[in-house]
Amino acid sequence: MGTNTNSLRERHLKAVSAGIGTKGIYAARAENAEMWDVDGKHYIDFAAGIAVNNTGHRHPKIMKAVAEQASRFTHTCFHVAPFEGYIRLAERLNALAPIAGPAKTMLVTTGAEAVENAIKIARIATGRPAVIAFAGGFHGRTLMGMALTGKVAPYKTGFGPFPADVYHAPYPNDFHGVSIDDALRSLEMLLAADVDPSRVAAIIIEPIQGEGGFVPAPAAFLAAIRDIADQHGILLIADEVQTGIGRTGAMFALEGSGVKADLVTLAKGLAGGFPLSAVVGRADLMDAAHVGGLGGTYAGNPLAVAAANAVIEIVQEEQLCERALAIGRTITDRLTSLAHRQGMECIGDIRGPGAMVAFELVTDRDTRNPDPALTNMVIREAEMRGLILLGCGTRFNVIRLLPPLTIPESILAEGLDILEASIIAATGCEAEAA
């Protein structure tokens, strides 16, 4: 018997580029932390559109703000006719971002576009060409984004050559045996052997790596990077595309380190499901470009801007940063309890602040060898049971959990029950009762 899913899958295969990876879930509707497919199957969403729907699917305040804006105008192009909502959002971001001194903002559309513009700003402000990024980092699928990204498959394979003057340094990861000292020594060697520091415009870093496996940068490492940057006149760019807007328990992940950035990139959670991104930076840097050097036709779309202004209000009014911390504790406690049971030695590491939690699956805890096959099995098993999960990690063996920050306690508990059952089923091991 045919289904709507099967029909859409056939049309999909014929009409859409095979290079676009997808799951087999064809959405019909969604509400807060739940989704229903075209055949009526119910899912709990632990992906949130890859940390986009931090405020849940279709938050009433966002939908109202967008509808009100749509009744006035949907597009003017900010270059042609600027509008108050854009300015109001810039003012809010300038006040919130972890930037030392007065800040200014530019709005664009995607995370990759924000990163591209941050690099442009850093280069024109410093007069330098080179950029340093980190192994395991992800900064987008544009040519510069791919050059900065420190994960080859699937993002860089076959798409080169990439822009020159981009260098990669190791990122600290205790579970993989890379200490803070190891990473700093390698960065110092890079600056001594591969690129003159006087040629480096910026160091770009994710305070918590996303695609790299939800690996937090220790505060001491971020502080040391800040010192190195200051020593050599290099700018520090914090890529908060996935970590920003409450996800980690603060509006920006960088806040937990006490370190200030020169430029910050934002996207994903910024506009509650509408395409919008931003570069927030020191005012002197943001003003370095000549008039017309920054922007874009769709940059700062009025509907997305209205949504973003609503998102910031929701995060503050509903105390979603505090809620992210509570969600994270619930998830981490459940995973830790499961990992301590007989037969669950496959759970090698659990990490991540706030509601940005991941666990790494290994063949055994002594060698810490990755188990990507088991990772895929858990994700598939969960999907069959009605839970949407995403993988990540440079070794393809990490499962990331990104529920909306508005998820009800009962739905969170149900999702974690499905997750636990899926891990047990995928391992083929009946874990002992808690």
Q: For residue 16, what are the contacts with CB-CB under 8 A and spacing of at least 6?
A: none
For 159-182, the DSSP string reads -----SSEEEE---BGGGTB-HHH
Residues 6+ apart with CB under 8 A from 65: 306, 307, 309, 310
Q: Which residue is associated with the tokens 């830790």? A: 336
Residue 305 CA: distances (Å) to CA of 64, 94, 300, 321 = 13, 15, 6, 21
- Sheet with 166-169, edge to edge strand ranges: 103-108, 277-282, 263-266, 235-239, 200-205, 130-134, 166-169
Phi and psi angles of residue 29, each rounded to the nearest 5 degrees, phi first: -160, 160
Contact 114, 267 (CB under 8 A): yes
d(CA 369, CA 380): 21
CATH top-level class of 73-317? alpha beta
Q: Which residues contact 35 (CB under 8 A, 6 or more apart)?
A: 25, 27, 29, 42, 43, 45, 57, 388
Report which of 21, 58, 87, 25 is spatially closest to residue 274, judged by C-alpha positions: 58
* Residue in 43, 57, 53, 39 with CA at minimum distance from that of residue 382: 43
Q: Is 215 helix (H, G, I), strand (E, B) or coil?
A: strand
Q: What is the pLDDT along the chain (434 residues), one digit of tens a residue?
A: 468 999 999 999 999 999 999 999 999 999 999 999 999 999 999 999 999 999 999 999 999 999 999 999 999 999 999 999 999 999 999 999 999 999 999 999 999 999 999 999 999 999 999 999 999 999 999 999 999 999 999 999 999 999 999 999 999 999 999 999 999 999 999 999 999 999 999 999 999 999 999 999 999 999 999 999 999 999 999 999 999 999 999 999 999 999 999 999 999 999 999 999 999 999 999 999 999 999 999 999 999 999 999 999 999 999 999 999 999 999 999 999 999 998 999 999 999 999 999 999 999 999 999 999 999 999 999 999 999 999 999 999 999 999 999 999 999 999 999 999 999 999 987 655 44
Q: Where are the domains of the chain?
A: 4-58+319-427, 73-317
Token digits of residue 171: 């990122």
The predicted pLDDT at position 323 comes to: 98
Annotate 237-249 with b (16+ C-beta within 10 A) or e (fewer).
bbbbbbbbbbbbb
Superfamily of chain region 4-58+319-427: Aspartate Aminotransferase, domain 1 (3.90.1150.10)
The CB density around residue 28, as the number of other CB atoms within 10 Å, is 13
C-alpha count within 13 angstroms, C-beta hemisphere, residue 389: 30
pLDDT at position 1 is 44
Q: Please, are residues 351 and 7 in contact by the beta-carbon 8 Å criterion? A: no
Residue 8: what pLDDT?
Answer: 97
The three-state secondary structure class of 202 is strand
Strand partners, 349: 360
SS3 for 259-315, per residue? CCECEEEECHHHHCCCCCEEEEEEHHHHCCCCCCCCCCCCCCCHHHHHHHHHHHHHH
Give the H or E element holding residue 44: strand 42-45
pTM: 0.96
Tokens read off for 191: 């600056």
